[in-house]
Amino acid sequence: MSLLKIENLVKTYGTFKALNQLNLEVKEKEIYGFIGRNGAGKTTTLHSIMQFISFDEGIISFDGKPLNKDDNSYKEYISFVPDVPSFPEYLKGREVLMLTADFIGIQKEKQKALIDSIIEKTYLPYPNKKVSQYSRGMKQRLAIACGLLKQPKLLIMDEPTSALDPIGRKSLLDLIKSLKNEMTILYSTHILSDAQNVCDRIGLIENGTLLLEGDIHEVLNHKTTNKYVIESDKTQEVYKLFSKHAKFVKEVDLIDNQVHFSLKESAKQRDIHALLATYEVSINRLYKQSKSLEDVFMEVLDNENTA
Amino acid sequence: MKTLLKYDWLYFIKTPRLIIFIALPVFLSALSALSARYMNVLLEYAMASEGIEGITFPDPTIEDAYIQFYSNYSQIFMIVFIFIGVGLLTIGITKNHYPFIFTHAVSKKNFLLSKIIILMSVTIVGMLVGAMVFAGYTYLLFETFDGLYFSLSLLMFILSVLFVLSIMSLMSFAFKSYIAAISLSIIIYILLTSLTGLKYGIFEYFPHRIFEFPILVTQKELDFPMFIASGITLFLSVFMIFMSIKVFKKRSLM
C-alpha cells in the first residue's frame, strides 16, 4: 500500500517549470531513493509535500488522504530533515530536542529517556553544547535526531549526507538501514552510491519529471548490460583478436590487464565463445559487467537528451 | 500554541534581550526623573562655565518629569523595541527556522500570534517595572505623583506600542527581508510621530495622534476625539495583525 502518492504535480516559478507532471509513489516501510541532479526538482518536491511552498496543479496524498492546505495534521506523522538544518543558535542540542519533544507533544516525564536514546542512536556528539558551536555535520545529526524523536510514519530526508565526513556518512547509512522496518523513508540524494546502498526502490527525477521508478534491482537491470570482461594470461592476444576479428563487438578496451568490450545489439554470448574456440585462445574468466546506479542514471539521461 | 510561546520566550531568556527589555526602561525611568529635576541646575552650571551669566531657568515641575519620561520612551525605547521586535518576527526567514518549526503540525496563525503575545508581554512587564521605578524616583524628587493619570497615560503608551507592533508585523510578513521590514517600520514610525501635530478636522480622530496622548493624559487634557482616536488605533492595530496573518498564510515559507 502506498503511504505517499504524488500525482501530476506541477510547480512553476515565473516561466520556469520546476515540477512538470511529477508522479511518484512511496510504499509503506520502504526506503525510497529520490535521485536526480542538482536543480532537478527534488527539494521542490519535498517542500511541496511539507507545504513549505504551494504547488500549481496536482494531488499529494498521504496515507490515502489528499493534502489540504488548511489542515496540517498529517505532519504529526511526518518528519523532515532539511539539507541545511538550522536551529535557534542560543539553545543547546539537548534543549532543541526538548523543544522538539514539546512540539510533538511527548509527555515531560517520558522526554528525558526518549531523548537520551535518540542521542545514542544518532551518535549526536556534545548534546550539552550550544548549537552555535556545532559544525554543519553535527547540525545534520541533530536534525535527524529531531526527525526520529517523532517516531514518524514517514521520514523525509533531503541530502542528509551532504555535510558528513566519510565515517559520519557510513554511520548515517547504517542508521537508515537499521530503520528499514520501523518507518518509511523518502531519501533524496544525488550521491548515487548511497542510494544504491540503502534504498529498496528509487525514482529518478530530471527537469521536474520522473524518468524512471522501480525496485532497485529492476532499475539496475533497466536495460540489460551488454558489457563484458575477459581475464586471461594472454590479454594482449585476446585484445588483438577482439579488435580485428570480432564483428559482433561494438567497442573494445584494455583496462587493468583486462579486456573490456561491449556487444552489438544483435550479438549473443555464444558468439564470444565461438570466436575464442576458432582461434584457440584460452581465457581464465568471462563475465558480464554489473551495472551501477550511476550507469543507469547516465543511460537514462542520455536517452532523455537524445529523445 | 504553548510550545510556540515557549520557543519565543526562549528567544528572550537565552539571549540578552530580556535584560535589555527590563534594564532599558529602568534606566530611562531613573534618567527621566533625574534629568527633569536637575535639568535647570545643569543648564545654569553649563552656561556659567561658558561665561554666560544672568539666565535663570524656572523650577521644574512634575509635568516636566512626565514629558521627559515619554520623550525617552518614544525615542529610545521604541527604536530598540522595533529593532528587537522585527528581529523576532523575521527570525524564520533570517535564520531559516521555518523547516524546524513547520515540520510539525503548527499553524501559521499561532506562529505569528505567539510572537505578538510574547513581544507585548515582555514590553508590558518591562514598562511596568520602569513605571514603578519612575513613580518612586519622581515621588522622591518632586514629592508628588499622580498615580491614576500616570497609569492611564501608560495605557495609552502601551496602545501606541501595540500600534507600532502591528505595523512591524505587517512589514515583517509582507516582505521577506529583515532590512526591508526594519527600514519601513522605522520610516513609518518617524513619519507618524512627526505628524502628531496634525489634528485639524477629521485628522483629530486619526491614529497618528496616539503618540501624543500619553503626555496629554498626564496633563489631564482628555477629550472625546482622544477616545475615538484611541478606539480607531486599537481597531487598526487588530486589523493590521489580522492582515499579517492573511499575508503570511498565503506566502510560501521558502
User: What does the pLDDT read at residue A222?
Assistant: 62
Given the candidates 3.30.70, 1.10.10, 1.25.40, 2.30.30, the CATH classification of the domain at A227-289 is: 3.30.70
Asked if A281 reaches chain B (Cβ–Cβ under 8 Å), the answer is no
What values do phi and psi take at A187, rounded to 5? Answer: -115, 110
**Other Cβ atoms closer than 10 A to B75:** 11
CB B84 within 8 A of CB B123: no
In this predicted structure, the answer to whether residue A223 has a pLDDT above a threshold of 70 is no
Inter-chain contact A87–B97, Cβ cutoff 8 Å?
Answer: yes
Q: Which residue has the higher pLDDT, A179 or A157?
A: A157
Angle between helices B178-194 and B147-174 in degrees, nearest 10? 140
CB A69 within 8 A of CB A54: yes
Confidence of residue A233 (pLDDT cuts 50, 70, 90): confident
Question: Which of these ranges, A46-60, A214-228, A243-257, B27-41, has the smallest mean pLDDT?
Answer: A214-228
CATH class of domain segment(s) A2-220? alpha beta
What pTM, to 2 d.p., does this model score?
A: 0.81
CB A266 within 8 A of CB A273: no
Interface residue of A90, A108, A130 to substitute, partner B, most B CBs within 10 Å: A90
Strand partners, A261: A228, A252
Confidence of residue A275 (pLDDT cuts 50, 70, 90): confident
Share the mean pLDDT of chain B: 88
Inter-chain contact A103–B104, Cβ cutoff 8 Å?
Answer: yes
Confidence of residue A225 (pLDDT cuts 50, 70, 90): low
Give the residue on A whose Cα is nearest the Cα of B12: A90
What is the percentage of chain B residues whose pLDDT exceeds 70? 100
Residue that has been written with the C-alpha cell 529520490 in this structure: A34
Domain edges within chain A = 2-220, 227-289
In this predicted structure, the answer to whether residue B163 has a pLDDT above a threshold of 90 is yes
Residue B76 distance to chain A (closest CA, Å): 26
Q: Which residue has the higher pLDDT, B102 or A164?
A: B102
CB A229 within 8 A of CB A287: yes
B123's grid cell: 514590553
One-letter amino acid for residue B39 of the chain: M
In this predicted structure, the answer to whether residue A224 has a pLDDT above a threshold of 70 is no
Of B2, B10, B253, the CB nearest to A91: B10
Asked if B5 reaches chain A (Cβ–Cβ under 8 Å), the answer is no
B-chain CB neighbours of A89 within 8 Å are: 95
d(CA B142, CA B140): 6
What's the average model confidence in pLDDT over A74-95? 91
In this predicted structure, the answer to whether residue A307 has a pLDDT above a threshold of 70 is no
Share the mean pLDDT of chain A: 86
What's the average model confidence in pLDDT over B70-97? 89
User: What does the pLDDT read at residue B119?
Assistant: 93
pLDDT per residue as tens digits for the range A1-26: 789 999 999 999 888 888 989 999 99
pLDDT per residue as tens digits for the range B47-65: 877 777 777 777 788 888 8
Residue that has been written with the C-alpha cell 555535510 in this structure: A163
Same fold, A2-220 and A227-289: no
Asked if A42 reaches chain B (Cβ–Cβ under 8 Å), the answer is no
CB pairs under 8 A between A and B: 76
Query: Which distant-in-sequence residues (6+ apart) come within 8 Å of A38 by Cβ?
Result: A190
